[in-house]
Amino acid sequence: MAIRPGDGSSSGLDRLGPEQLLGALAGVGEGRVLELSTTFGRDMPQGSPDAFYGFRVTQYRTPKALTSDASPGFDFSMDVITASPHLGTHIDGLAHISCHGRMFGGHELKDAYTDFGWTENGMETSQPVIGRGVLLDVARSKGVEHLPDRYEITAQDLEDTLRSQGTELHNGDSVLVRTGWLKAWYDSDPDVYFASQPGVGPDAAIWLYQQGMALLGTDTSGTEVIPMPDPERTTHGVMLVERGVHVIEIMDLESVADAGATEFLFICLPLRITGATGSWVRAVAVV
């Protein structure tokens, strides 16, 4: 079934308004900040170079005291970072995915492409994400350390997880799905982590959207089952292209899982990079 791009009139993040923000702030009890992001550097797990441009920090300007006897009272260093914005914890922008030559809003790729970024749906159009976050710990709900490789999470799995946690979904929620895959493989065997993985199926993602979800996050690198069972109907397609729902990938959800926190204030601030397909993010949960 061909995916029909959304009309671009609204995205998932438009569900985040003052009411949702104030409700999330009111739910903070301890004021404790939990890290949900990975670290970045040249030795970070990076996936296949066929898909990802590696992360590098290069010194561009070094203090004079490093290369001479000069020792001025004021000096500075400056570096240059080169990397794909889809490494580490990142958000997929609406320009990232296309289906049959079109992206969200129905824009034809040939009309929106330039050598220096996309003229439609670039990351400069994204919004700050501050609202209620919900952890759906599917792995824990099933009593396993991590879901099996290539396991497709269904809507029933999500309903069962909500029931076991005693959690309800609200309009404007950022839903973070834990498979246990990052804990199992991200640091210990990155090749296994990136090669194939469990994920949220298209129907399950649509079900979450129908419950009011504004944004979908996972602890996997591909959100959905990788390799994709059906490239003609993907979770990325039904979210980013059809409904304008951003996805966050490679999240470290262990801190909230260990804390038993299933509802929290979620903060994620994408960089406003003109024409970009994604952005590194620093995501946190406040409980």
What pLDDT is stored for residue 3 in this prediction?
A: 65
Task: Determine, yes or no, domain membership for 271.
Answer: yes
Average pLDDT, integer, range 269-282? 97
Instruction: Give the largest Cα separation in the chain, rounded.
Output: 69
* Distance in angstroms (rounded) separating the CA atoms of residues 155 and 48: 31
Interhelix angle 155-165/202-210, rounded to 10 degrees, is: 50
Confidence at 6, pLDDT banded by 50, 70, 90: confident
What's the mean per-residue pLDDT of the chain? Answer: 95
What is the C-alpha to C-alpha distance for residues 242 and 244, in angstroms, rounded to an integer? 6
Domain harbouring 174, CATH code:
3.50.30.50
Domain assignment present for residue 231? The answer is yes
Determine what percent of the chain is predicted with pLDDT higher than 90: 92
In a domain, 183, yes or no: yes
pLDDT band at 4 (very low <50, low <70, confident <90, very high): confident
Residue 51 located in a structural domain = no
In a domain, 189, yes or no: yes
pLDDT in tens, 10-25: 899 999 999 999 999 9
Residue 2, pLDDT score = 56
Q: Is the per-residue pLDDT at 260 higher than 60?
A: yes
Instruction: Let me know if residue 134 belongs to a domain.
Output: yes
* 146 assigned to some structural domain: yes
Confidence category of residue 142, pLDDT binned at 50, 70, 90: very high
Residue 48 confidence (pLDDT) above 90: no
Confidence of residue 53 (pLDDT cuts 50, 70, 90): confident
Q: How many domains does the chain have?
A: 1
> Which structural domain range is residue 259 located in?
12-41+86-286
Residue positions counted in the chain: 287
Confirm whether 264 is domain-assigned: yes
Structure confidence at residue 230 (pLDDT): 97
Share of the chain above pLDDT 70, in %: 99
Cα separation, 222 vs 225, whole angstroms: 7
What pLDDT score does 207 carry?
98
The structure's pTM equals: 0.94
| 163 band by pLDDT with thresholds 50, 70 and 90 | very high
Residue 61 has pLDDT above 70, yes or no: yes
pLDDT at residue 152, as a whole number: 98
- Residue 22, sorted as left (phi over 0), alpha (psi -120 to 50) or beta, turns out to be alpha
Our measurement of the distance from residue 4's CA atom to the centroid of its chain's CA atoms, rounded to an integer in Å, reads: 23
